[in-house]
Amino acid sequence: MADLTDKTALVTGASRGIGRAIAERLAADGALVAVHYANNDAAAKDTVAAIERAGGSAFAVRAELAAATGVDDLFAGLADGLGGRPLDILVNNAAIITYESTIDQTTPEQFERQFAINVRAPFFIIQRALSLIPDGGRIINISSGVTWFATPQIVYSMTKGALNVLGRSLANTLGSRGITVNTVSPGVTDTDMNSWLHETDDAIPSITAMTALDRVGQGADIADAVAFFAADDGRWVTGQTLEVNGGLYLGPKAQAW
């Protein structure tokens, strides 16, 4: 475990899935964690309660990031929870995917909503957070492996590609303040977003067959990578995209000839 004692963190989309795993890990390392969520009050309360049962500290912040007032609502709740403390760690995790958003089926409304939550919100959250983040702070964005392998859900892939570009450029801009900016790119991870893993008997075996470590990813696998970037151990790493995927699509596992 890293030592994040006396640090604060905001994790967006933290009531479920990868976001919850990240929030729980940062809290276990000692940080006070702001658990952002959009509308699932029960899930957010459960996440905060789980952190507190484990001996950590957290508070929930509700904000619909697609709304015009979403970022304002987020920072109003964050200010209440921080009580004047700085924000040491920002993790932009909140994202949505619309599975029918292919090149031939995407509607303008679907396109705009995915970009609003997955791209616009992280950008303006960072913009607002920079006055709260001290020199030496951490920004970590959660991207996806779909930025380097093809998928029919082209709009989602485009939003995540934008985060990769944001991370590199922002790291260069903020380097003089000692703020590191890195991107964690998960592979196929067992979360609500990937509920299709449990819809057929062959979904999980098909993924493990193309993954070097022979399993599907778990939220904790991603959270551990985020914790590295958030801690002092990651102080000399910035502007990087880390593929955390168990060796997805490395090639055939057996010689084919």
Count each helix (H run) and each strand (E run) in the chain, helices first: 8, 7
**Residue pointed to by tokens 């679907």:** 110
The reported pLDDT for the residue numbered 1 is 75
Residue type, 137: G
pLDDT for res 122: 98
In CATH terms, the fold of domain 8-244 is: Rossmann fold (3.40.50)
- Domain residue ranges of the chain, discontinuous segments joined by +: 8-244
Close Cβ partners of 254 (under 8 Å, ≥ 6 residues apart): none
Question: Which of 37, 99, 156, 249 does the annotation list as catalytic?
Answer: 156
Smallest Cα–Cα separation from 117: which of 102, 97, 88?
97
> Distances from the Cα of 49 to the Cαs of 33, 35, 46, 93, 117, in angstroms?
12, 11, 5, 20, 26
Whether 197 shows a pLDDT value over 80: the answer reads: no
Is position 37 annotated as part of the catalytic site? Answer: no
Q: Tell me what pLDDT residue 238 has.
A: 98
d(CA 125, CA 87): 12
Q: What is the pLDDT of residue 15?
A: 97
**Closest of 180, 204, 186, 142 to residue 14, by C-alpha:** 142
Please tell me the predicted confidence (pLDDT) of residue 235.
98
Predicted local distance difference test score (pLDDT) of residue 196: 67
Indicate the range of 34-38, 203-207, 221-225 predicted with least confidence: 203-207
